[in-house]
C-alpha cells in the first residue's frame, strides 16, 4: 500500500492485522481530525471557558438526540462558541456515547488552543468553531480509500451510486444503503450519508461530489470510500453496514508481504 499524506487530516491510530491472506488497515475511531488552521485562544480566556461548557453539552446532548443531531451556541461575541454533534447512522447509543466522550478529550489534545476543530469518526461527529457553520456543507474530500481488486462492470456501480445518493439525501436521516446483485457471484453493498443538519439539496450536492471523487480514485475497483466532513459514500463487496469498527476497506500495506488484495489510502487537505 502507498500512503499519501498532506498537511492537516490525521489518521490517529493504525492497527495492522492479517485475515484470509489479506492485510487490512483499521482506521481506529477517527477518520477526520482537523484544526482548520484557525486562530488561537489563550489559556484561561472566556473563549476557553465557553468551549469547555460547549464540549460537555455536545457529548451529553448528542447522545440524547441519537436519531437527529444537536447544535448550540454558548457565550457572547467575540467569545461565542458554536458546536455540533451527531451520532452516525448505524452506531449504537452506547458506541456513540463513548465516541463523543473520547472526541471531547481528543479534540482539545489534538487542536490545543484552536478556535475551530472537527473530529469525525465511524460512530460520531463533533465540531466547534468561533464562527457559525450550522447547515453549511463542507464537501472538500479529506480521505479516500480503495482496494486494488478490479470489477468487471464499473459503470453499473456508478449508476447504483447515483441512485443511492438520491435516496439517501431524500430521507430525514440523510442516510441510505443499497445492496445490488450484479451477477450470480457478484454482490455490492453501498452506503451514503450526510450530517443531518443539511437540507436535502445540500446533502445531494455533497454526496454528488463524493461520487465525482469516487470516479477519480476508485473507478473500476471492487469498492471504495470517500469522506468529507459533511458526507461520505462507501462501497464494498461484503456487508458492513453496522460494522463501523471494522476496516473501512480492504487495504494492504506495501511493507508487509501479502498473498491477497492490496489497496491504497490517500489523505487530502
Beta carbons within 10 angstroms of residue 197's beta carbon: 20
Residues of the chain with pLDDT below 70 are 1-30, 151-152, 241-269
> Which 3-state string (H, E, C) describes the chain?
CCEECCCCCCCCCEEEEEECCEEEEEECCEEEEECCCCCECCCCCHHHHHHHHHHHHHHHHHHHCCCCCEEEEECCCCCCEEEEEEECCCCCHHHHHHHHHHHHHHHHHHCCCECCEEEEECCEEEEEECCCCCCCCCCCCCEEEEECCECCCHHHHHHHHHHHHHHHHHCCCCEEEEEEEEECCEEEEEEEEECCCCCHHHHHHHHHHHHHHHHHHCCCECCEEEECCCEEEEEECCCCCCCCCCCCCCCCCCCCCCCCCCEEEEECC
pLDDT score, position 90:
80
Query: Domain locations in the chain?
Result: 3-7+138-267, 33-129
Domains 3-7+138-267 and 33-129 share a fold: yes
pLDDT at res. 61 = 92
Pick the CATH number of 33-129 from 3.40.50.2000, 3.30.430.20, 3.20.20.70, 3.20.20.80: 3.30.430.20
Distance CA(157)–CA(166), nearest Å, equals: 14
If 0-12 CB within 10 Å is exposed, 13-18 middle and 19+ buried, where does residue 183 land? exposed
CATH number of 3-7+138-267: 3.30.430.20
| Packing angle, helices 46-64 and 93-110, rounded to 10 | 160
Rounded to whole angstroms, the Cα distance separating 209 from 226 reads: 10
Query: In this predicted structure, what is the pLDDT of residue 32?
Result: 84
Amino acid at each position: 500500500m502507498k500512503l499519501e499524506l498532506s498537511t492537516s487530516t490525521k489518521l490517529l491510530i493504525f492497527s495492522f492485522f492479517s485475515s484470509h491472506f489479506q492485510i487490512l488497515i483499521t482506521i481506529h475511531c477517527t477518520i477526520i481530525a482537523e484544526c482548520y488552521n484557525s486562530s488561537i485562544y489563550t489559556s484561561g480566556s472566556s473563549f476557553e471557558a465557553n468551549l469547555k461548557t460547549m464540549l460537555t453539552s455536545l457529548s451529553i446532548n448528542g447522545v440524547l438526540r441519537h436519531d437527529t443531531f444537536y447544535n448550540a451556541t454558548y457565550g457572547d461575541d467575540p467569545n461565542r462558541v458554536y458546536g455540533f454533534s451527531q451520532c452516525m447512522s448505524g452506531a449504537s447509543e452506547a458506541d456513540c456515547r463513548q465516541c463523543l466522550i473520547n472526541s471531547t478529550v481528543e479534540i482539545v489534545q489534538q487542536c490545543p488552543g484552536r478556535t475551530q476543530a472537527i473530529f469525525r469518526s465511524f460512530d460520531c461527529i463533533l465540531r466547534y468553531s468561533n464562527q457559525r457553520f450550522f447547515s453549511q456543507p463542507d464537501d472538500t474530500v479529506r480521505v479516500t480509500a480503495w482496494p486494488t481488486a478490479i470489477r468487471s462492470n464499473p459503470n453499473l456501480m456508478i449508476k447504483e451510486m447515483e441512485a443511492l445518493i438520491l435516496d439517501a439525501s431524500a430521507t430525514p436521516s440523510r442516510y441510505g444503503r443499497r445492496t445490488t446483485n450484479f451477477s450470480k457471484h457478484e454482490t455490492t453493498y453501498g452506503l451514503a450519508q450526510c450530517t443531518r443538519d443539511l437540507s436535502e439539496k445540500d446533502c445531494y450536492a455533497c454526496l454528488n461530489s463524493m461520487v465525482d471523487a469516487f470516479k477519480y480514485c476508485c473507478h473500476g475497483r471492487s469498492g471504495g470510500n470517500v469522506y468529507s466532513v459533511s458526507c461520505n459514500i462507501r462501497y464494498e463487496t461484503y456487508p458492513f453496514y453496522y460494522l463501523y469498527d471494522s476496516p473501512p476497506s480492504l487495504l494492504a500495506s506495501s511493507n508487509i508481504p501479502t498473498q491477497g488484495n492490496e489497496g491504497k489510502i490517500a489523505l487530502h487537505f
